[in-house]
Amino acid sequence: MTTFTSPQKTEQLTDAFRIFNQLSQNLSSSYQGLEEQVGKLHQELAAARSERVQTLIEKEKLAARLQQILAALPAAIIILDAQAYVIDCNTQATHFLGEPLVGQFWGDVAARSLISVLDNPLERQLLNGLRVNMVRSSLPDSQEQVVVLSDVSEMNALQETINQQKHLSAMGEMVASMAHQVRTPLSTAILYASQMTSPKLDADKQQRFSKKILERLHYLERQVNDMLVFAKEGRLTMEAFSLQSLLDKVQVAMLDYIADGEVKFRLSNDCLLDLMQGNETALQGVLMNLLTNSLEAMSGKGVIVLSVVQLDEKSLQISIKDTGRGIESAHLQRIFEPFFTTRVSGTGLGLAVVDSVLKAHGGQVKCRSTVGVGTEFKLSLPCIEQVFQPNISIGASA
């Protein structure tokens, strides 16, 4: 058994106290360091909290400002979820569309409050008569969509005023041009008519003079008809008529034009429907306008083919194709502009009237042409009323 003397015990106790003091100092230093770190973390947390609070305050201000802006906008803003239900909207939206809105299916809201506009697929008419432009787009990084309705009634009214001013200006230009265009053929017709009563005029000359007078009168009739249609700006009276009756009238008129020439005219109707809704006189003028243009382009020799085909249950296509000199590509882009013409004796109204009449019927006209080969006009007309009679094909040549 080991025994310790008193000095040894004292030395051991001293060492133990020394180690204890050292550990106490280390613990105290560590605790002080922890206190400093905790204090620093408290400061950082307080700063972060203050910054977050400031950010939240700024975001709240921004949100409030955006709400004020949305409320003050003259456009209606509607937010849709992924299933197209309204989840939010501004005040203008309720003014345009009425209530309820939030929670409603957008298709039901549109059906009750928006009316489609035929002349512009991007526009809708409200129940109070205002016109609105509708834009629908997806929100980024979301399945939600935003619908914007902007009131364009005033803009449309201003545009209509501008168009009327342009039309009045064009009418003035047309009258000045027509004065010259009418005077020349009228003088020619008067000259030939004055010779008709001469006793020295034989039968051949009388027939030739009669033909010249008739040509000039037909020319004057086309010019006056073009002027009247252009003056109406496409506003035509629509009524039911027979497609075959229209084609028969065109065929009879063309026989007078090609009676003494080397032009062949063929007409075919492959449309199973006959009863139309539109302005027969204006459409006849359109067809005769294009056909007489083809005659002039062929200089008395060639082939003109007028064909009618059915596109669907409600529309047809009329094609007029000739073997004339064709139209230069530089002129092809402008042929439907009013008063644009490449002929010395032309007014530039013919094809502008064609375009106007087709638009008045909800249709359109397109042209393709190759210089030295010929020209083809295609007229689309969505104006079939009902089934009337089966396929008819007729032809005429001279």
Final residue in a domain of this structure, among 199, 231, 263: 231
pLDDT of residue 128: 85
CB 263 within 8 A of CB 300: yes
Final residue in a domain of this structure, among 57, 72, 87: 72
Considering only residues 366 and 333, tell me which one the structure prediction assigns the higher pLDDT: 366
- CB atoms near residue 131 (< 10 Å): 19
211 in the same domain as 100 = no
Token pair listed for 165: 């001013």
Mean pLDDT of the chain: 79
Final residue in a domain of this structure, among 231, 256, 281: 231
64 in the same domain as 86 = no
Q: β-strands 273-278, 384-387: how paired?
A: antiparallel
Considering only residues 45 and 105, tell me which one the structure prediction assigns the higher pLDDT: 105
Q: Is residue 327 part of a domain?
A: yes
Percentage above 90 pLDDT, the chain: 12
Q: What is the pLDDT of residues 244-303, one digit of tens each?
A: 999 999 998 888 778 767 888 999 999 888 888 888 888 988 898 899 888 888 877 889
Domain enclosing residue 169, as ranges: 154-231
Q: Is residue 212 part of a domain?
A: yes
Q: Whole-angstrom Cα distance, residue 287 to residue 249?
A: 10
pLDDT of residue 12: 80
Q: Is residue 341 part of a domain?
A: yes
117 in the same domain as 178 = no
173 in the same domain as 34 = no
Q: Is residue 343 part of a domain?
A: yes
The number of distinct structural domains making up the chain is: 4
Q: Is residue 125 part of a domain?
A: yes
Q: What's the rounded mean pLDDT across residues 15-40?
A: 82
The residue written with tokens 């080991």 in the block is: 2
pLDDT of residue 257: 79
297 in the same domain as 258 = yes
pLDDT of residue 181: 59
286 in the same domain as 168 = no
Token pair listed for 171: 């009418």
**pTM summary value:** 0.48
CB 294 within 8 A of CB 300: no
Q: Whole-angstrom Cα distance, residue 265 to residue 254?
A: 8
Q: What's the rounded mean pLDDT across residues 190-208?
A: 77
The H-assigned helical ranges of the chain are: 6-72, 91-97, 106-113, 153-195, 203-231, 243-258, 280-298, 329-332, 350-360
CATH number, position 160: 1.10.287.130
Q: Which long-range contacts does 156-165 make (Cβ < 8 Å, 24+ apart)?
A: 156/131
Whole-angstrom CA distances from 198 to 84, 191, 193, 212, 215 are: 84, 12, 10, 16, 21
CB-based contacts of 74, cutoff 8 Å, min separation 6? 92, 150, 151
Q: Is residue 4 part of a domain?
A: no
98 in the same domain as 202 = no
Band of the pLDDT at 390, cuts 50, 70, 90?
very low
293 in the same domain as 214 = no
Q: What's the rounded mean pLDDT across residues 373-392?
A: 69
Q: What is the pLDDT of residues 39-77, one digit of tens each?
A: 888 888 888 888 888 878 887 777 777 666 666 667 888
pLDDT of residue 231: 62
Q: Is residue 17 part of a domain?
A: no
